[in-house]
Structure 1
C-alpha cells in the first residue's frame, strides 16, 4: 500500500514539477535528474514530519535558534519543490547549499549532540547520487575545510564554541579526520556502484537496440517469406492449371485413338502407356494444386451426409487391382456394430482423398507377398478411427517429424527405385485436421507402418 502511494506521489510530482526535459535514452543523466526529484520530494515529506517534534522540543527547551534554522531550511525546501520557475541545475545547487548551511549550523551549535554531522554525511551521498563523483568529492572537500577551520578556531582560541569545549583538540581532530575519511570511502563506493550500474545500463540499452534491430529484420524476413509463399502458391496453382488443360486434351486423344487399329497389339499398348502415364501426371499435378491451395488457405470443408461403408468399399475395389498387380494381400476389415454407425456428416471428397493417399502409399512401399489392411472403427457415432497397416519397408524414426512435409520422401536416395511427388501424406494430414481429427504414425524400419487417423462423424455440431 505504501509503495503504491509513493509511486502515485512520484508520478504526480514529476508531472507537476516538469523536472527534466531529458529522455530515457540519454541514460545516466536522465536517471540522476529523476532521482533528484525523488530525493527532493522525500526530503520535504520527511522534513515536515521531523520538523513538528523538533519545533516543539526546541520551544520546550528554549533552543529557539534551532527552531529558526529548521524553519528556514524547511521553507527553502518547500520553495524548491513547488516553485516551477527555476532550472534543475539551480535547484540542485540551492538544495545542496541549504542542507550544508543547516548541517554546519546545527553541528556548531549542538556539536555531536545534534544531527549536523549525520546530515553532512547523508548530503555527501546524495550529491554523489544525483550529481556524480566529482561533485561528491567537492562536497567532502568543503566538509574537510569546515572541519579544519573548526580545529584552527578551537586550537588558537579564535572563537568560543561551547558545544566542543569538553573535547581535547587532538581527540576532536582524530574524530573529524575519521569522519572525512569515512565520507571519502562512501563517496568512492557509491560512485563505483553507479559507474557499474551505468555500464550495465548502457550494455542493456545496446542489447535492447540490437534486439529491436533483429526483430525488425525478422519481421522483414517474415514478410518476404510470406510474400514468397504467396508467390509460390500462385505459381503452383497457375502452372498446375496450365498443365492440366493440355493433359485433358492428351488423355482425350488417347481415348479416341483406342478406336483405331484395334487389332494391332503394339499400337494399343503404346496408347495404353500414353493414357496411364498421362493419368499419373494429371494426378501429380492435381496433388500439387491441392497443396498450393492448402498453403494459401483456400481449402474449405463441404459437409454432406453419406454412408462411410460404401465409400470404403468403393476405395477398396478401386485399389484392389493395384494391390493384386504387386502380389499383395489387401484386406478390408471394418467394425461397424449396426447400419446406423455407417451414416456420417463430413466432407466425402476429402475423406476419400485421405484414404486413397494413405492406401496408395502403403501399397507402393510394400513388397510382393506383403499385407496391406484397412480397418475402420466407430465410437458411439462421435468419431471414426481408421487404421492403414502394411508390412512394407517401414520408416526410420528420425524421419517421423518430416514425413508429413510436402515433397518429402523417406527413400530420398532412391535406393528402392520408388517414385512419387512426396505430397500425398501432406495432403492427408491437412485434410484430416480440416475434418476435426489428427493423423499419426507408428513404424519400424524393415517391419512395416501403421497410419492412424480419426475424424468427427458430425461436423455440423462444431
Structure 2
C-alpha cells in the first residue's frame, strides 16, 4: 500500500516539476538530481508530519525561538517543493542553507541536547549524496567554522548563550571535534561508496553495450548464414536439374549401345559400367535436388490412393538382389491386411522413405547379418501405419545419433573407400516421414545393429 502511494506521489511530482524533460542523459549527475528530488519529496512529508507536534511542544515549553525557526524552515521547504521555475542547482543550495540555518539555530538555543547536531550530520551525508564529495567537504568546513565560532564566543564570553550554562567548555570542545571528525569520515565513506557504485554502473553499461553489439553481430551473421544456406540450396537445385538432363541422354545412349556388338563381352561390360554408374550418379543428383527443395520449402506433397502392400513389395524386390549380393538376410513381414492396404498418401515419397532406409541398412551390414522390415497398423492410432526396420550391422555411436539425420553426414567418415553415397538419404527420409504425418526415430548400439521405426497417416490431409 505504502509503496503504491509513494509511486503515485513520486510520479505526480516528477510530472509537476518537469524533472524528466530537463534531464535526458542518464549519467551520475542525472542520478544525483533524481535522488535530490526523492529527498525533497520525503523531507516535505516527514517535515510536515514532525512540524506540528514539534511546534506545539515548543509553544508549551515557551520556546518561541524554536517555533519560529521550525516554521521558517518548513515554509522555505514548501517554497522549494512547489516552485517550478527554480533550477535544481538553486534548489539544492537553498535546501542546504535552510537546514544549516535550522541546525545552527537549534544548537544555539538547545545545545547538544537537541536535534541540531543530528541534522548537521545528516545534512553533510545528504549533500554528499545529491551534490558530490566536494559539497560534503564544504558542509564539514561550514560545520567546523560554526563550531569554532561557538567555542570562540564561549571562551571570550561575548554572548551569553543558553547552553553555555550547562555545558563546560571542555565538553563542548570534545563534542565539536568528535562531530567534525565523525562527519568527515562519513562523508568520505559515502563518497567512496558512490564512486564504486558509479564505476560498477559504468562497467555494467559498457558490458550491456558490448552484449548488444555482439547480439546484433550474431543476428547479422545468422541472417547471412541463412541467406548463404538458401543460395547454396538454390544453387544445388539448379545445378542438379541442369546435370540431370544430360545424364538422361547418357543413360539413353547406353541403352542403345546394348544392341551393338551383343556378342562382345568386354563391350557389354563397359556399357554396363556406364549404365550402372550413370544410374548411381543420377540417383545422387536426384537426392541432392530433393534435399535442396526440402531446405528451401519448395517440396510439395502429392497425395493419391494406392496399395501400400504393393509399394512395399516393389521396394523389397528391387533391393533384395543387392542384399543377396552382400549375403545379407533380408526379410519382409507385412501384417497389413488387404482391407487396410489402400491408403491416401504420397506414393513416391513413401517409396523413397523405404528405399533410403533399406539402402542405409544394406550399406552398414555385411555377410551373415540380417535385415527385417515389419509393417502393421499402429496399435495406438487406427489412422496410421507403423513400419519397423531392424538390422544387425555395425550400429551407430551414441554421440552420432543426434546428427545422423543432418544433410551430407555419414557416420563412418574415416572409411570412405568402403562406403559411398551423398549422405542425404536419412535427411530425406526423415523430412518425407514428417510430410506424411509421422516421425522417424532410431535406436542403435555399436556392434549390435540399428532399428528405425516410423509411422505415416493412412488418410493424409493436405492444405
* TM-score bin, normalised by smaller chain: over 0.9
Q: Equivalences for 1:416-427 in 2 at 5 Å?
A: 417-427=418-428
Task: Give 1:23 shift.
Answer: 3.7
Cross-structure match for 1:102: 102
Cα deviation, residue 127, structure 1: 0.4
Q: 1:70 to 1:404 in 2, by over 3 A?
A: same
1:33-70 deviation per Cα after TM superposition (whole angstroms, max 9, x unaligned): 11111111111121122222223333343333323222
* Residue 57 (str. 1) matches residue 57 (str. 2): yes
In structure 1, the residue matched to 2:389 is: 388
| SS in structure 1 at match of 2:223 | helix
Q: After TM superposition, give the deviation of residue 235 of structure 1 in Å.
A: 0.6
Structure 1 contact 24–31 (Cα < 8 Å) conserved: no
306 and 5 in structure 1: CA distance in 2 versus 1, 3 angstrom threshold: farther
Instruction: For residue 276 of structure 1, report the CA deviation from its aligned partner.
Output: 1.8
- More displaced 10-residue stretch of structure 1: 272-281 or 410-419: 410-419
Deviates more, 1:77-86 or 1:190-199: 77-86
Structure 2: which 5+ runs fail to align?
A: none
How do residues 349-364 of structure 1 correspond to structure 2 at under 5 angstroms?
349-364=348-363
**Worse-superposed segment, 90-99 or 3-12:** 3-12
2:61, 2:459 → 1: CA distance?
93
Partner Cα separation in structure 1 for residue 344 and residue 112 of structure 2: 94
Which residue pairs with 2:430 in the alignment? 429
Counterpart of 2:19 in structure 1 is: 19
Partner residue of 2:448? 447
What SS does structure 2 have at the residue aligned with 1:34? helix
CA distance in 1, matches of 2:156, 2:46: 39
In the TM superposition, 1:79-98 aligns within 5 A as 79-98=79-98
1:221 paired residue number? 221
Deviations 1:291-320 (A, max 9, x none): 112221223434444443332222212212
User: How much does 1:124 deviate?
Assistant: 0.7
Mapped pair 1:295 → 2:278: no
Q: Distance in 2 between matches of 1:456 and 1:68?
A: 92
Deviation at 1:325, TM superposition (A): 2.3
Q: Which residue of 2 aligns with 1:66?
A: 66
Q: Is the 8 A contact 1:396 1:443 kept in 2?
A: yes
Alignment-derived partner of residue 152 in structure 2 = 152
Q: Is the 8 A contact 1:440 1:452 kept in 2?
A: yes
Label 1:146 to 1:428 Cα distance change in 2 as closer, same or farther (>3 A).
same
Moved more, 271-280 or 437-446: 437-446
Bigger drift between 386-395 and 265-274 goes to 265-274
Q: Deviations over 1:112-166 (max 9, x none)?
A: 3432211111111110111111210110111111112112212221111113421
TM-score by length of 2: 0.93
Task: Report the equivalent of 2:114.
Answer: 114
CA deviation string 1:374-402 (max 9, x = no partner): 11232241433322111222222232222
Is the contact made by 2:301 and 2:462 (CA closer than 8 Å) also made in structure 1?
no
1:10 maps to 2:21? no
How big is the shift at 1:106? 1.7
Aligned to 1:366: 365
The whole-number CA distance in structure 1 between the counterparts of 2:214 and 2:444 is 41
Separation (CA, whole Å) in 1 of partners of 2:59 and 2:343: 96
CA gap of 1:96–1:250, structure 2 versus 1, over 3 A, is same
Does the residue aligned with 1:68 lie in a helix, a strand or coil?
helix
What displacement does 1:273 show?
2.1
Q: CA deviation at 1:95?
A: 1.0
Q: Distance in 1 between matches of 2:87 and 2:104?
A: 26
Q: CA deviation at 1:340?
A: 4.6
Structure 1: distance between partners of 2:133 and 2:456: 72
Q: Distance in 1 between matches of 2:219 and 2:140?
A: 53
Q: How far does the alpha carbon of each residue in 1:300-353 deviate from its partner, in whole angstroms, 9 at most, with x for none?
A: 4344444433322222122122222222211112334x5454444443332222
Q: Is the 8 A contact 1:435 1:455 kept in 2?
A: yes
- 5+ long unaligned stretches in structure 1: none
Distance 1:54 1:400, change over 3 A: same
**What is the CA RMSD across the aligned residues, in angstroms?**
2.2
Tell me the equivalent position of 2:408: 407
**CA–CA distance in structure 1, aligned partners of residues 118 and 344 of structure 2:** 85
Distance 1:416 1:264, change over 3 A: closer
Deviation at 1:289, TM superposition (A): 1.0
1:223-262 → structure 2 map (5 Å cutoff):
223-262=223-262
- Contact 2:393–2:447 at 8 Å: present in 1 too? yes
Contact 2:77-2:95 within 8 A present in 1 as well = yes
Tell me if the contact between 2:35 and 2:130 (Cα under 8 Å) persists in the aligned partners.
Answer: yes
How many residues were matched structurally?
A: 460
Report the equivalent of 2:398.
397
Secondary structure, in 3 states, of the residue corresponding to 1:420?
coil
CA distance in 2, matches of 1:110, 1:5: 36
With over 3 angstroms needed to count, the CA separation of the structure-2 counterparts of 1:46 and 1:354, relative to structure 1, is same
Shift in alpha-carbon separation, 1:200–1:373, aligned structure 2, 3 A? same
Distance in 2 (CA, whole Å) between partners of 1:84 and 1:341 is 85
Q: CA deviation at 1:207?
A: 0.7
CA contact (8 A) 1:341 1:381 kept: no
